[in-house]
Structure formats: structure tokens, C-alpha cells
Amino acid sequence: MEMMNGNEHLKIYNDPFMPLTIEKVGEDIITPMGVGCAYSLCHYYEQHGDLVQDPEMCFLIWFDRMEETEELTKVTIAPFIFQQGNLGVYQESIEFSSQVMGNVHKEMQADHAEFADMWLVNIKLQGFLK
């Protein structure tokens, strides 16, 4: 998020890998833990003129703190969408209605968290965060 410098989206090129796109997709989202925002991380490729997610994940981010601090232990991040366009997979593990967090599908959300852990390690190892 720091790399975005206040912009709504950022595309990071890192050959030979597909670019990584980061986009703010929601804000002022009300959760039981506080107000948060949502970001999408996605690798896209083009097929027949269409962009295909390979994969895309959306993350809900909120700050568990009362005062301004750089302390990352006070930030909570939860994946809530997984999309793999070439396989026709679209999953929402957390439901929202009018910017308010609703049902959490716990088993699916745990699967999303497990995949996100692996994918984010790969993103770091591939040098996207340098």
C-alpha cells in the first residue's frame, strides 16, 4: 500500500513474471472490528482481447488502533474474494451489503487465507516488493 503513494491503483512490472496490479476497490467498509478498506491484488493476462485474472484476491484491511502508529501488529488483513478467470472460479468468503460486512463463510475464508499466505510469499520471493 505504501508503494501506491496515495494513488488508487498501481501496476508493478517484474519480468519474466506477469505484472502485479494493486487497486483500492472499497473504503469506509463497516466491520465488527472497525472501519476498513478493500484492495485487489491481481495477475492478469490477455486472452482473445479480454483480461483474465490469474489469480485475483481481494483483501479487507482495517486498523485495530486508536492512535496513529506505524505498528503493523495493529493492522488486520482478511482475504474475502478469490477469482481464477481461466477456470471460471469466483468465490466470496465474506458478504457485504451497502458497505457493511455480513456473513463470513468460515471454511472458505480459511481456504482463502491459506492460499493468500502462499501467494504473498511467492510475490515477495519473486521480487515484486523491492
Distance between terminal CA atoms of the chain? 13
Q: What is the pLDDT of residues 86-103, one digit of tens each?
A: 999 999 999 999 999 999
**77, 73, 61: which is closest to 113 by C-alpha?**
77
User: Cell triple for residue 5?
Assistant: 503513494
- Look up the pTM and report it: 0.86
Question: Phi and psi (nearest 5°) for 49?
Answer: 85, 0
Q: Domain coordinates of the chain in residue numbers?
A: 2-125
Question: What tens digit of pLDDT does each residue of 59-72 get?
Answer: 999 876 555 555 55
Q: How far is 44 from 97, CA to CA, in rounded Å?
A: 27
Residue 3 near residue 12 (C-beta atoms within 8 A) = yes
